[in-house]
Structure 1
Amino acid sequence: MKVNVDQGRCCGAGQCVLIAPEVFDQRDDDGIVTLLEPSPAADVHAAVRGQEDADQQENQLLRPGPVP
């Protein structure tokens, strides 16, 4: 799995950090998402996919990447 984020669409709510803290963080100054791990381990794929589903409904933050 490859993860990409679109910081321009991030609302800074921090749900991604709560769902997959191994993959996402937030900037201290404005809460915008930062990507910690663009190729997360298999054991967090389900959490990332859950966040992707939530973002699809909200703001299209996550962008699908190529699956190795």
Structure 2
Amino acid sequence: MALMITDECINCAICEPECPNMAISMGGEHYEVDPERCTECVGHHDQPQCQQVCPVDCIILDPHRRESKDELQAKFDRLDHAS
């Protein structure tokens, strides 16, 4: 699954630089995750780095974007080759 940031986000900006895929950016009211770029850090780290640093635990799995580890790895491979 891709991750998502809930309305509990306090806009601290700690998560944005932690994302190796540049999937996090400021949205209309709070930070948002681009599901096309989010691999849950598959290909980079064992755990999603944004979740590790979030002080209010507002970064969760997006229930509308179910992806297997293989799908996340394929997305990482596609993003890695695009750069």
* Counterpart-to-counterpart distance in 2, 1:11 and 1:47: 25
Asked whether the equivalents of residues 4 and 32 of structure 2 are also in contact (C-alpha less than 8 Å), the reply is: no
* Counterpart-to-counterpart distance in 1, 2:13 and 2:50: 11
Aligned amino acid, residue 36 of structure 1 = D
Identity, in percent, stands at 5
Q: Bigger relative contact order, structure 1 or 2, given CA contacts below 8 A and separation 6+? A: 1
Which of the pair has more CA radius of gyration? 2
SS at match of 1:37: coil
> How many residue pairs get matched?
62
Asked whether the equivalents of residues 26 and 33 of structure 1 are also in contact (C-alpha less than 8 Å), the reply is: yes
Is 1:62 aligned to residue 59 of structure 2?
Answer: yes
* Counterpart-to-counterpart distance in 2, 1:40 and 1:4: 9
Pairwise CA RMSD of aligned residues?
A: 2.9
Displacement of 1:39 after TM fit?
Answer: 6.0
Aligned amino acid, residue 56 of structure 2 = N
TM-score (norm: length of structure 1): 0.62
In structure 2, stretches of 5+ residues that fail to align are: 69-83
More helix by share: 1
* Counterpart-to-counterpart distance in 1, 2:18 and 2:56: 16
Displacement of 1:2 after TM fit?
Answer: 2.3
Matches within 5 A, 1:16-55: 16-20=15-19, 22-27=22-27, 32-37=30-35, 40-41=38-39, 42-44=42-44, 46=45, 49-55=48-54
Runs of 4+ in structure 1 displaced over 4 angstroms?
A: none
